[in-house]
Amino acid sequence: MSDLQEEGKNAINSPMSPALADVHPGDTLLEENEERTMIDPTSKEDPKFKELVKVLIDWINDVLVEERIIVKQLEEDLYDGQVLQKLLEKLADRKLNVAEVTQSEIGQKQKLQTVLEAVRDVLRPHGRVLQWNVDSIHGKNLVAILHLLVSLAVHFRAPIRLPENVSVQVVVVRKREGLLHSSHITEELTTTTEMIMGRFERDAFDTLFDHAPDKLSVVKKSLITFVNKHLNKLNLEVTELETQFADGVYLVLLMGLLEDYFVPLHNFYLTPDSFDQKVHNVAFAFELMLDGGLKKPKARPEDVVNLDLKSTLRVLYNLFTKYKHLE
């Protein structure tokens, strides 16, 4: 790696031109027509870049605290898929069928492939090109790793605040005819648009959680009274909002009671046993809300399934404001 970094410095000093002619192909770590990318050293010193890395490391360590995993350096600790596996399992509440520990490069890449396929299933990019792959992650490409972590943090509405508009200068080094050539590109790691999505769009509940936590119990008590007033008709009772609505079943049944119709059981999972089934239930409940004339919930189905209390309260409060007049 030190040899490659030295070559990169030479390439940086003469962008878009061949590397020094006296660099013999046998002395480099690049094969013919192979390319490597590295972050310009000046970008690594940018305060916003440093903040992004620190925020993501702290977030990973908070999520995996029960696993006794401590991440210190992203590219060194995440490249083999082990930490990424644990992180995704914790965030998505699902178990991946992969070997726990593997030392060989082939085994690591196979495990990483499985983990990244699971990430794709969770993110559902819908044609959007993902900015990472097995080779880039296993090759300790920090830019690719950061793209992956930012996407996961935004998708799962991580309780962190990512710095806005973070970009880095990336040097792409290629070997052609035994000589190194380089080019510079700008990689955007975070944008303002990403940061204001969902969790970062503040509302009354943000204020309640941040500045009036003592009143939170009053709001929860009112909502519990409201939902039980209707769910008691089915001999159901709620005591914990974030957990008992997380699988979407009570939410679907509540919508049927509020709108006075029977919800066919084949439209949702009465006893969901996977993350995807729970997300389906909550998403179906959201569709029923839209049919009932409510605005589209600010929360995402995944937020409710992931036991995000604030998201669950937002959904239930919208129901309360529309149907509180019902006897």
Task: State residue 125's pLDDT score.
Answer: 67
Task: Map tokens 């300790």 to a residue.
Answer: 140
Distance, CA of 108 to chain centre: 22
Whole-angstrom distance, CA of residue 323 vs CA of residue 128: 39
Q: 110-134: per-residue pLDDT in tens?
A: 999 999 999 998 887 666 678 899 9
Q: Is 87 exposed, middle or buried (0-12, 13-18, 19+ CB in 10 A)?
A: buried
How many residues does the structure list for the chain? 327
Whole-angstrom distance, CA of residue 138 vs CA of residue 176: 24
Are 247 and 281 a contacting pair, CB within 8 Å? yes
Q: 284-325: per-residue pLDDT in tens?
A: 999 999 998 888 777 788 888 988 888 898 899 889 988 887
Q: Read off the tokens for 248.
A: 């979407």
Task: State residue 325's pLDDT score.
Answer: 77
Distance, CA of 68 to chain centre: 21
Whole-angstrom distance, CA of residue 116 vs CA of residue 109: 10
Report the C-alpha dihedral over residues 199, 204, 210, 215, rounded to 10 degrees: -130
Neighbour count for residue 13 (Cβ, 10 Å): 11
Q: 167-191: per-residue pLDDT in tens?
A: 999 888 888 887 888 888 888 888 6
Whole-angstrom distance, CA of residue 44 vs CA of residue 42: 5
**N-to-C CA span, the chain:** 71
Whole-angstrom distance, CA of residue 228 vs CA of residue 270: 19
β 35-39/167-176 pair status: antiparallel
Are 312 and 304 a contacting pair, CB within 8 Å? yes
Task: State residue 262's pLDDT score.
Answer: 92
How much is the average pLDDT of 26-55?
Answer: 81
Output the pTM of the full model.
0.54
**How far is the CA of 171 from the CAs of 19, 36, 183, in angstroms?**
13, 8, 6
Considering only CA atoms, which of 191, 92, 84 is closest in space to residue 140? 84
